[in-house]
Amino acid sequence: MRRIFLASLLLPVHFFASTGVTEAQTRVTRVTVQDNSALGSPLAINGTVTLRETISNGIVRTAISEDILSRNISGKTILTLVVWVDVKPSYSSPRHFTRQYECFFAADVISSGTEHPLSQANVPETGEPYDPSAAPRSPSAVVTVVYVQFLDGSIFGHEAFGEDIQRMRRMTLKHLRSLDRIYTSFGEAAFTQELNETVEPADVETFFENIRQTLRQQGAQIAIVRIRTSLKFAEDRQAGFSHRKSRGEDSGSERE
Amino acid sequence: MYSHPLIRTRYHFSLFVTLAIVNLVLVANLVADQNVALLSSSCQNQAGGGAARTCTWGNATGCRLGATSYFASPWSCSSTRCASYSDNSGCTYQNCCLTNTTVNDACTAFTGPIQVETTTCIKPPPDKCTPLVCR
């Protein structure tokens, strides 16, 4: 009887603790970013990632807020950059982000000594079933530079990690050339029609949507100038790569 | 029969009964909470029907087997593996689930690893007037 009585006193405490799983519980953690890049990485990385995890009604919702900055310490200009950002929250599933930055068609490049943000402002919030039996892990955020192409065509990292962005570069270049040809051969109307066609994949489509805005706001003549400017940057850079190759320097090496 | 001194008096017996009732209420609340949790993640076909089921775990509207993504707005998810959107920064955000990332038909558990999320920013040519652009 004594045991029953004592148990009756303890039971409310137990239930208050266990109902914490079904009622909203929020945990906010800020972790310092670790740089997991290979030796000789052209970027110095620092920053923090803030994780806000809320457990409610059997669902864990996770919001990620990033403040990650890189600095080009290579002494060379970076044209293309691919990094991985791996975030492990305490309760929800790990997230693996790939961030790709391509400056092949633009005036802006990542010059030596300059900073380049790696944060994404609008990381989507997730919600997934909460497993109360799983022990919470120690949260972490790790950044890895996996592929860099410099202005001279040399590479840091492994080419395989640059395949996706290189494929998009080829598709963008092909479509730019096609648009230039159509403008020259068939005029503004045909050019406008072609430019307004949706392009696949979505990443390349975003590039051309930017030029479409110029078409809508300033007309075909300015839009074609932007296209030819892109082509000029691209062809100058390709020529730089070819020049390096002709001098016997391997632009496809795994390590710079 | 032995009785604990604390429950010998009527006062202490009343306290014992009260605590037992409180416990019962707490248990009932807990069960109710769990029911709410199950209901909020139950499977519902969204408007549109057919194979184009949409779901957002974030909004707890649930999803069926084959609906592979579970992001809250601005992601929409569907029975296709990828969802993407772009913004004014010139970047495209793409979320692709791995093929074996699905929820079970009862919408109560995920199987498989987390999806791949890719951001691609292909910087566009300058849009400001420069000697090259606006000559």
Cβ proximity of A101 and A81 under 8 Å = yes
Which chain A positions have a beta carbon within 8 Å of B95's beta carbon? 124
- Residues A48 and A145 occupy one common structural domain: yes
Q: What is the pLDDT of residue A12?
A: 40
Q: Is residue A24 part of a domain?
A: no
Interface touch B134/A9, C-beta < 8 Å: no
- Residues A146 and A165 occupy one common structural domain: no
Which chain A positions have a beta carbon within 8 Å of B41's beta carbon? 58-59, 129
- Residues A81 and A193 occupy one common structural domain: no
- Nearest residue of chain A to residue B61 (CA atoms): A127
Q: What is the β-pairing status of strands A34-35 and B116-122?
A: unpaired
* CA dist., res. A223 & res. B112, Å (int): 46
Interface touch B19/A125, C-beta < 8 Å: no
One-letter amino acid at A87 equals V
One-letter amino acid at A118 equals L
* CA dist., res. A72 & res. A54, Å (int): 37
Nearest by CB: B117 against A2, A95, A125: A95
CATH of the domain at A128: 2.60.40
Nearest by CB: A5 against B4, B38, B91: B4
Residues of chain A short of pLDDT 70, as ranges, are 1-23, 127, 245, 247-256
Interface touch A127/B4, C-beta < 8 Å: no
Range of the domain at A192: 161-246
Interface touch A102/B121, C-beta < 8 Å: yes
- Residues A33 and A114 occupy one common structural domain: yes
CA distance B89 to chain A (A): 9
Residues in chain B: 135
* CA dist., res. A50 & res. A65, Å (int): 5
- Residues A59 and A135 occupy one common structural domain: yes
Of A124, A151, A178, the last residue of a domain is A151
Q: What is the pLDDT of residue A7?
A: 47
Q: Is residue A125 part of a domain?
A: yes
Which ipTM did the prediction report?
Answer: 0.82
Per-residue pLDDT of chain B (135 residues; tens, 9 = 90+): 455 554 556 666 665 666 666 665 554 444 333 322 222 233 333 322 222 233 333 333 333 333 333 433 333 344 344 556 777 778 888 765 544 444 433 333 333 334 567 899 999 988 765 555 444
Interface touch A93/B114, C-beta < 8 Å: yes
- Residues A132 and A194 occupy one common structural domain: no
CA distance B99 to chain A (A): 16
Return the sign of the alpha-carbon dihedral for residues A68, A211, B93, A51.
positive
Q: What is the pLDDT of residue B13?
A: 60
Provide the domain count of chain A.
2
- Residues A107 and A202 occupy one common structural domain: no
Chain B stretch 26-45, residues whose beta carbon is closer than 8 A to a beta carbon of chain A: 26-27, 29-30, 33-34, 36-38, 40-41
Is B91 an interface residue toward A (CB < 8 Å)? yes
* CA dist., res. B76 & res. B93, Å (int): 12
Which chain A positions have a beta carbon within 8 Å of B108's beta carbon? 129
* CA dist., res. A62 & res. A94, Å (int): 10
- Residues A147 and A200 occupy one common structural domain: no
Query: Where along chain B do its domains lie?
Result: 5-39, 44-135
Nearest by CB: B71 against A19, A93, A124: A124
- Residues A114 and A203 occupy one common structural domain: no
Backbone angles phi, psi at A10, to 5 degrees: -85, -30
- Nearest residue of chain A to residue B3 (CA atoms): A1
pLDDT in tens, A75-99: 999 999 999 999 999 998 788 899 9
- Residues A33 and A147 occupy one common structural domain: yes
Q: Is residue A47 part of a domain?
A: yes
- Residues A187 and A136 occupy one common structural domain: no
What pTM was computed for the model? Answer: 0.71
